[in-house]
Amino acid sequence: MGRTFKRLLLLAAVLCTSIVLVACGTKTDNTNGASQTNTDGKKKLIVGTDATYAPMEYMDAKGNIVGIDIDIVNAIAEAAGFEVEYKNYGWEPLFPALDNEEIDFAVSSITIDEERKQSFDFSDPYFIANQLILVQESSDVASFNDLKDKKVSVQINTTGHKAVKKLLGKTNKNIVAAETMPLAISEMINGNADAAVGDNAVVIEYKVNNPKVKLKTVEDDSFEKEYYGLMVKKGNQEIVDLLNDGIKKIKENGKLKEITGFDVE
């Protein structure tokens, strides 16, 4: 009797294990990130962004996430055969969202830099940019070096922030680090900073869209070329390969140049 009972127990254990295995089996299309597979067999990737960055990624009047980066990612997705769903995270929360696998990748005019490469993986570059200074039209600022003893606003933890820390010193109280780029620019317009520093496309767009505020841009050759990439959780090679496949295709078929107006080597 005792023996039969033991057998029954063993059988139950085996059955339970296989039930668990079956349950796991149905989830295998969900490994590595937030992606799901649609009924038509296409992968749907969840894409995080900071939609405060016109013309690159921003909210249109209807609340849709739009912009040049979005057009590029849509083209990449079409070329590589996957679907996308955009989620607006804001800038700083993007990084933990990747680590926590809430999103499969991030698009946000993110510069591929050595420091970030320690903690994240990047696609191949798809866009070239550089920093640009924005000041009041009456300002005497003529170069980046002129900002040394001035108050400078930036978006926190961006390459602009890094460049300004390098010039002014890491802990300099004259650095105004705002949550978003539009807020950084407001600080300058309101007189809380003498200059704002940020990515060229975004600085130019702001100036063009706000002609009533008398602003001017100041270029400086000392700003390095920056290459934007799509950012992926460290080690998620599957997504990097998929994105690079799409990027390669839209570079080859001219779609990327059609969107941005220039070639990226």
Kind plus residue range of the DSSP H or E element containing 178: strand 175-178
Question: How far, in Å, are 7, 60, 164, 192, 217 from residue 54 at the CA level?
Answer: 67, 10, 22, 23, 17
**Residue 218 φ/ψ, nearest 5 degrees:** -125, 120
Judged by CB, which is closer to ligand ARG: 123, or 159? 159
User: Any contact of residue 153 with ligand ARG (CB under 6 A)?
Assistant: no
Name which position in 76, 82, 89, 108 contacts ligand ARG (CB under 6 A). 108
CB of 220 to ligand ARG, least distance (A): 16
Smallest separation (angstroms) from ligand ARG to the CB of 57: 6
Interface mask (CB under 6 A) for ligand ARG, residues 162-191, using x and -?
-------------------x----------
In the complex with ligand ARG, which residue's Cβ is closer, 229 or 246?
229
Query: Residue 159, interface with ligand ARG (CB under 6 A)?
Result: yes
Of 205 and 226, the one with the shorter C-beta distance to ligand ARG is 226
Burial (Cβ within 10 Å: 0-12, 13-18, ≥19) of residue 16: exposed
| Contact region with ligand ARG (CB under 6 A), list: 30-38, 139-147, 151-159, 205-213 | 151-159
128 contacts 200 by C-beta, under 8 angstroms: no
Give the per-residue contact string, 211-240, with ligand ARG (x = CB under 6 A; - = no): ---------------x--------------
Cβ closest to ligand ARG, residue 43 vs residue 197: 197
Q: Does 200 bind ligand ARG (CB under 6 A)?
A: no
- Please count the CA atoms within 13 angstroms of the CA of 52 that sit on its side-chain side: 15
157 phi, psi to nearest 5 deg? 55, 35
In whole angstroms, give the CA distance from residue 149 to residue 190. 19
Distance of closest approach, residue 158 Cβ to ligand ARG, in angstroms: 3
Stretch that binds ligand ARG, among 59-67, 146-154, 155-163, 244-252 (CB under 6 A): 155-163
Question: Which residue carries 């930036």 as its tokens?
Answer: 154
How far out from the chain centre does Cα 206 lie?
19
Pairwise CA distance, residues 217 & 197, whole Å = 10
Q: Least distance in Å: CB of 161 to ligand ARG?
A: 7
